[in-house]
Chains A and B, each alone.
Chain A
């Protein structure tokens, strides 16, 4: 608030004087919203600046973390203030920080590009802002402990990127026009890249960073094209100006003339959607997200689970009116979402790395959100985003705590009964809460939000939407299974563990730097550096060497250490928030608080969607109510999905808990041969990466070599020619610059003479 206000005011003071006439500060008064709302991104930017200064001054303490928590906490408080203000105002607010672009190259329509650096605050924005800033604050606090092994410039670098991420994300969700949104969009992509590659000395982390960046580029290309087309078609990028322009098309659809909507208008959402698929890791662009787990776990929790990946959902929700007037956009979104949900759930079932399982579950849950949007339940989608943000952050941070305590061990075959070890109670409880939510256990937040989507997909008469409903229902069962597979394997059962491959580094580290860390809680040894193995790839041979040891008789040089107060505090808060999120379903009218937030925004379903017509239901959902086996899905779905979820949990219980005596084996292993190659394929992630490599990467590489050769021979020749030409001309002209006074005078007089001659000739 202070930063934005002070700088803005200062800038204006100077200029008002410079112009010599007292221009009243037009920005604040012209905008309908108060400028202090701009403090949300401004505080995050302040965090970037402060942590950068920490890096410059080589601060070797946890100062950057506390600065981050303070800035982001301030941003959260401001967001709450903005939310209350919005409730009072009752209309969307536009807060203009400054004019960003104001270009015109003609008088006609579409020849003026005006984009303010402004924020559009409606209830949809507020919903996202609340959990983005709130979770970022909590995760910042968690990271203060989690990253403590890296205190120094690495710590500063981490928190600078962290703050920059929050800045970009708030720009993304608060942007008043597609350009600010795009700035945030690219900003979060950049921060994601920086943070995935945080351990830049580790090749796999660098590769994962590059992969995320490149795959996202493909999506961004679509988004950019969508933005261009929006500008070409509508001549503006500003949301409040766009809605009235889209309204005629919505009226057209309402009147049953959806087929008359121009093709280009219908194309815009398809292009925007490609961007959403990239950022939100949907088929076919989901491959980057599991690899993104190479980053530090707080990053995985914040960026790759809770906030950034929901940007795609936000984009579609934000531009929902445009999607509604397109005949094919929403059905594509729905089918892509459903297939992604199913595919990644099957992959998640067969993985052993717990963080990776959570990554696939994120992809899968994002699929649900896309389905929610597609089945005209934007409220359900947003509610699922909201609940998912909390429980997925909980789950990731629990996995991170395990990884932190067991020297990077993430293999569920090498950990067991963690919950019963001393000091791990809160982690295990938080994990249980997260798992129940993810599995859709009755009366948890995840249960309500998932139900809204599944029920609506049976109700909405879109192309094949019944099938989407069945897929989602099946996926819900699979989700419950793989979620509790993790819980039953790792957190309960016989206590045994095997440290990750960072155990040696850990010891050296502890001895050398044990005293530099400035821990505020007493441990005999330094924190296990999570650094160099976010994903344990301990080979089998290695695992046999340091064979699992029973608790109480731990190996002589490794002690798992339980998380400290910061991690426990954050996990406790998150677990309680995850539970409390269920409560928001019960308040408000209809479908809870989050749904109300969506209903009062532009993402509200307005009772007309172009694709409904094509399915032969021009009058919308209520005229032709879909059904679930002849029953009303809205009512029956609570029971059906409860049963499905519980079945999944029981399956996991039977296969992975009952009768299990070691960490490495379980009853499920007996089933593997029966499943034939399917299990292997699922474990190999359906070989999608290999497929992409063979079909896209390899041909591109070959092509790039071909082009490289052509480039060297042909294009370089041309470029060199272009470079040589000015040089050649210059070398011919240069002798005139011979440094002789009379030469110059002759040049001037001669030039003048030529010009005068030309003028006289022209005038004749």
Chain B
């Protein structure tokens, strides 16, 4: 156990950071409290640097995706830094305004430090997911990711109009999240029951040697569906729009990336215990069909519902569902020997792309506010961004670039993120899935281009939105827009890194010892195949 410390320096940094920020937040001095955001950034930066030097897990007996940590941890920390820029000054704005207005400092009203501490805890949870070597660790890490977000959702809307909405969103998110957690915890328990192991490596070896028994199979289904809550996949997607809309835009940006990354990593870990024992391995047919259905439903439902939205925030919420569906396609495609045929690498690279472009889009929204009955509220409607390229070129063009990137418009980042998903799925022979993915991308063009057109072509609305006066958000939008363009040119090394990160552990020695359990399933597209060898086993057990 002690040797795992070597992998945990980023998480420990974030933990220390969270404690420091919380303690600073108790200071009676308003100026000290304002420094909490700077400390948050500092610790995140250190965690990013440490994350880059995380050792590879190759050669250990507990890491199932050996190169994942050195990719995922800096990714989480760096996107976390971007998110911090967006989330700065989300809470306590009223108190700051009151202070500026000459009122005395009321220590009890300030919640910024808690907010930042929770922010760090949640990122730490996401990183711990990448470090997870067993089911219990994974469960705790997922919960550590999620629990702070429930509070943050509520805090993000506090002290302004619509607080009621954010409270409602927080409560919904909490209860539904608990339901999701219950489902995957049950799944984890059944996996343990079916295999007698909690460690992924042992579970994987068990599956490789004995195949999947029905209990483990049901456990895996429950686990995958439960974790789908984190990535907002159908049927666990219901909360998404309400929660995103109820929380501040900056918080929605957080929700769209951090829990999703944690969930995606968990799915990769879980799935890599089954079938990915070699680089050419395939999933058990039942799991394959399940993931196939999840992917298709998720992207279709997300896109179809996004078409109807007039609120950009809700639209982005639904589109985040669709993007989870795209990533599931990569999971289905499975690992491969080169970047463009490696679905896992495609998922990881897509997480990076999605983190950048989605954060950029939300940063623009968070930078704008408009008057609603005399009080400033956050911009969220399409009308608020009409003519933005003219009234505020930096924000406007950032929005246009991020939207085009989300759409997957050819020369920019989103395209280079989506292409590997296509090629990996094609390489795995999943033509139907690729066609569905293509149709969904076309549907997505409809609503993304609507926003692009509104920002670029329309005349500015008379009662348009104005800058909300948080310069760091504009900066975040600008950085994201620059990244969207620059990474499309200089992203090669990131692709190479994600290819390294996406190569699973090989169980070669075990396979040599025992014959493979699923004869005849190597080449077929498994979702067409009816029950296989394990199906017969199921029957016998049911009797």
Q: Contacts of A99 on B, CB cut-off 8 Å?
A: 492
Q: CB within 8 A of A105: which of B214, B242, B423, B443? A: B423
Contact at A14–B308, with CB atoms within 8 Å? Answer: no
Chain B residues lying within 8 Å of A102, measured Cβ to Cβ, are 338-340, 495
Mark interface residues in A4-19 (1 if CB within 8 Å of B CB, else 0).
0001101110111111
| Interface residue? B275 (CB, 8 A) | no
Contact of A20 among B71, B175, B176, B234 (CB under 8 A): B71
Contacts of A385-441 to chain B: CB distance below 8 A:
none
Other-chain residue from B285, B423, B446, B493 in contact with A16 (beta carbon distance below 8 A): B493
Inter-chain contact A733/B492, CB cutoff 8 Å: no
Binds A, one of B265-273, B371-379, B530-538: B530-538
Indicate with 1 or 0, residue by residue over B145-175, a CB within 8 angstroms of chain A CB atoms: 0000000000000000000000000011001
- Chain B residue contacts of A7, Cβ below 8 A: 490
Assess A18 versus B71: contact at CB under 8 Å? Given A726-B303, A739-B242, A748-B180: yes
A20 touches B290 (CB 8 A): no
Q: Which residues of A contact B301 (CB under 8 A)?
A: 733
> B residues within 8 A CB of A19?
70-71, 493, 496-497, 500-501
Beta-carbon contact of B286 and A759 below 8 Å: yes
Report the stretch among B192-200, B216-224, B514-522 that lies at the interface: B216-224
Count of chain A residues with a beta carbon within 8 Å of a chain B beta carbon: 53
Asked whether, in the complex, the Cβ of B308 is within 8 Å of the Cβ of A749, the reply is no
Report if A687 contacts B (CB, 8 A).
no
A18 in contact with B497 given A104-B427, A763-B534 (CB within 8 Å): yes
B235 touches A750 (CB 8 A): yes
Q: Counting CB contacts under 8 A, is B238 at the interface? A: yes
CB closest residue in chain A, given B527: A762
* B19 contacts partner chain A, Cβ-Cβ < 8 Å: no
B423 and A730 contacting across the interface, CB-CB below 8 Å? no
Tell me, rounded to whole Å, the shortest Cβ–Cβ distance linking A108 to chain B: 11
Contact assessment for B52 and A730 in the assembled complex, using a CB-CB cutoff below 8 Å: no
Among the listed A726, A730, A741, A755, which residue makes an inter-chain contact with B293, where contact means beta carbons less than 8 Å apart? A755
Interface of A is mostly: helix
Given the complex of chains A and B, what is the CA–CA distance between A154 and B490 in angstroms?
32
For B241, list chain A residues within 8 Å (CB): 737
Residues of A within 8 A of B221 (CB): 755-756, 759
Q: By DSSP majority rule, is chain B's interface helix, strand, loop, or mixed?
A: helix
Counting CB contacts under 8 A, is A715 at the interface? no
B183 within 8 A of partner (CB): yes
Judge if B236 is at the interface, Cβ distance under 8 Å.
yes
Q: How many A-B residue pairs have CB under 8 A?
A: 169
Say yes or no: is A752 at the interface (Cβ < 8 Å to chain B). yes
* Contact B293 A105, beta carbon cutoff 8 Å: no
Q: Pick from B175, B217, B419, B530: contact of A741, CB below 8 A.
A: B175
Q: CB of A747 within 8 A of chain B?
A: yes
CA distance A754 to B534 in the complex (A): 21
- The answer, yes or no, to whether A257 is at the interface (CB within 8 Å) is no
Which residue of chain A is the closest to B538 with respect to CB atoms? A763
The CA of A107 and the CA of B171, in the complex, are separated in Å by 51
A745 within 8 A of B: yes
B304 engages A755 (CB within 8 Å): no
Q: Contact check, A98 vs B235: say whether CB atoms are below 8 A apart.
A: no
Contact at B496–A15, with CB atoms within 8 Å? yes
Report B-chain residues with C-beta under 8 Å of the C-beta of A743. Answer: 238
Q: Which 8 A-B pairs have the closest CB atoms?
A: A751-B235, A20-B70, A15-B493, A11-B490, A19-B497, A744-B238, A105-B426, A17-B52
* 17 CB < 8 A contacts A-B: A20-B52, A20-B71, A102-B338, A102-B340, A104-B338, A104-B341, A105-B340, A106-B427, A726-B304, A726-B307, A730-B305, A730-B307, A737-B242, A745-B179, A754-B235, A755-B290, A763-B534
Binding site for B on A (CB under 8 A): 7-8, 10-12, 14-21, 23, 98-99, 102-107, 112, 723, 726-727, 729-731, 733-734, 736-737, 739, 741, 743-745, 747-752, 754-756, 758-760, 762-764
| Given A104-B340, A737-B305, A762-B285; 13 other pairs, CB 8 A cutoff | A10-B490, A11-B493, A20-B70, A20-B71, A98-B492, A103-B419, A104-B427, A744-B176, A745-B175, A748-B235, A748-B236, A763-B535, A764-B542
